[in-house]
Amino acid sequence: MIKIALDMMGGDNAPSSNIGGVFEFLSENKNSTKIYLVGKSNDIKKELALLPKIKSKYFEIVDASEIVDSNDRPSRIIKTKPDSSMNKAICLLKDNIVDAVISSGNTGCLVSSSFFNLGTIDGIKRPALFTLIPSENGNFLLGDVGANSKSTPEQLYQFSKMASIYTKYQLKINNPKVALLNIGTEPNKGTELIQKTYNLMEEKLNNFIGNLESRYIFDSKADIVICDGFTGNIVLKLIEGMMSYNLNLISNKLNLQKPNIINNLKSIYDYEKTGAVPILGINGLVLKSHGSSSKISIKNALKVAEELHQFNLIKKFKKIALWMLK
């Protein structure tokens, strides 16, 4: 039986969206998966009472008295809120009670709690967070998008190796094309970090295709676009903002009365279908779902956690980490 811990208090719509997602998942899921509902037990029970009864063998409530919010500092979260739903869910993974953890809560705190409780896989220096972005002929992975504000060339190289493994699951591509986000395509362009990373990837990465300017990231030139977490987070939020603006422009400002077109565009950029993404490099399967996740997104996040456990993602990362240490 696969066991998944869900941070019930994480996210803008918690705990109702999380409870709704669990109900949707268990209603559709015919496999033997058990969900640990980690959070304030009274709040969870109130939400459960509003839904049709779920068989108790498929879930268990784990009480947690504290909630991580957007103002909490990642570097101090374990000390200031040790009994938070996020931290207790991760500790269930640390103690081998569950196989995976999902949270829609504060990204920085989730990375920090995972890092200090679980550590990174031997040989991996820092964790990274990648997200799926739609492009001209499909999708590509962008990362790091916020797990680290600063990175070294070696870390960015390691991110590209981990992302290449993850791409086999997410995009079904065995030999993905990796590009480095830069202000130009020439090897001598960009900051010292980018230039050194370029040289390292050129030397060690067979599937490296060089630098990629941001205006071309949607042209399907690369399957994986590598950048530091500060840059990646800005790019991601700019993409989200532009998508929202363009959809509103098409539907409202241009007064386009064709709902099928609008719905098709929305489906292309719908983060709910992805559900959640794993924090790559952590010594355990920890997934981050969107802060505004609905019950549909949580349902899909649970499916992704189940699939990634069956895919043996962490074992595959450990193999490449051993290879990189040689």
Say which CATH number the domain at 153 has: 3.40.718.10
Residues 235 and 193 in one domain: yes
On the question of pLDDT at 211 being above 60, the answer is yes
Asked whether residue 130 falls in the same domain as residue 107, the answer is no
Average pLDDT over residues 159-183: 92
Q: Is residue 151 part of a domain?
A: yes
Same domain, 266 and 138: yes
Tell me: pLDDT of 127 over 90. yes
Which pLDDT score is estimated for 324?
62
66 and 119 housed in the same domain: yes
Q: What is the pLDDT of residues 25-44, one digit of tens each?
A: 988 876 679 999 999 999 99
Residues 145 and 182 grouped into a single domain: yes
Confidence bin at 129 (pLDDT 50/70/90) = very high
> Would you give the DSSP letter of residue 324?
H
Closest CA to 26 of 57, 54, 52: 54
Band of the pLDDT at 250, cuts 50, 70, 90?
Answer: confident
173 and 42 within one domain: no
Domain membership of residue 304 (yes or no) is: yes
Q: Are 183 and 216 in the same domain?
A: yes
For residues 159 and 72, state if they share a domain. Answer: no
Considering the domain boundaries, does residue 84 fall inside one?
yes
Mean pLDDT of the chain: 89
Which structural domain, as residue segments, surrounds residue 63? Answer: 1-124+281-312
Q: What pLDDT, on the 0 to 100 scale, is given for residue 212?
A: 96
pLDDT at position 254: 56
Q: Which residues contact 100 (CB under 8 A, 6 or more apart)?
A: 2, 3, 4, 5, 93, 284, 285, 286, 287, 305, 306, 308, 309
* In a domain? residue 23: yes
Interacting residues of 151 by C-beta distance below 8 A, sequence separation 6+: 126, 144, 159, 193, 228, 229
In a domain, 324, yes or no: no
Note whether 118 and 143 are same-domain residues: no
6-26 average pLDDT score: 93
- Which H/E stretch holds residue 134? strand 128-135
Q: Are residues 40 and 156 in the same domain?
A: no
Structural domains in the chain (count): 2
Instruction: Please indicate, yes or no, whether residues 286 and 159 belong to a single structural domain of this protein.
Output: no
Residue-level pLDDT at 84: 97
Would 325 be classed as within a structural domain? Answer: no
**Shared domain check, 264 and 135:** yes
The answer to which of 47-51, 88-92, 308-312 has the lowest mean pLDDT is 47-51
Query: Between 280 and 52, whose confidence is greater?
Result: 280
Mean pLDDT for the stretch of residues 42-63: 88
Flag whether 286 is in a domain: yes
**Residue type (1 letter), 188:** N
Angle at 266 between CA 311 and CA 274, to 5 degrees: 15
